[in-house]
Amino acid sequence: MDVIHAWLLEEVSENRLRILTQESQIGKPAAALHEDPSDPMNVGHQNWLRGLAATLLAAKKTDR
């Protein structure tokens, strides 16, 4: 399976962080993930983003 994944983390106004992500997958395993109704790839990415956001918010609270 070939995978390309890009992330852009950008500080924006009002003390916010914008996270942009784009991914491309090619191959039989990628096709199987696409067909899986539990959507494990997107669920995993969403969990990662939630964890990242929680970590950043916790770090900001300790910086005060």
pLDDT at residue 56, rounded to an integer: 82
Q: Residue 64: pLDDT above 80?
A: no
pLDDT at residue 13, rounded to an integer: 92
pLDDT at residue 4, rounded to an integer: 93
The pair of three-digit structure tokens given for residue 12, joined into one six-digit string: 């924006």
Quote the number of domains for the chain: 1
Q: What is the pLDDT of residues 9-23, one digit of tens each?
A: 898 999 788 889 898
Q: Residue 49: pLDDT above 70?
A: yes
The pair of three-digit structure tokens given for residue 10, joined into one six-digit string: 């950008």
Q: Which residue segment(s) compose the domain that 10 sits in?
A: 2-63
Query: How many percent of the chain have pLDDT more than 70?
Result: 98
**Helix-strand-coil percent breakdown of the chain, rounded to 5?**
50, 35, 15
- The CA–CA distances, whole Å, from 15 to 43, 57, 60, 64 equal 26, 10, 10, 13
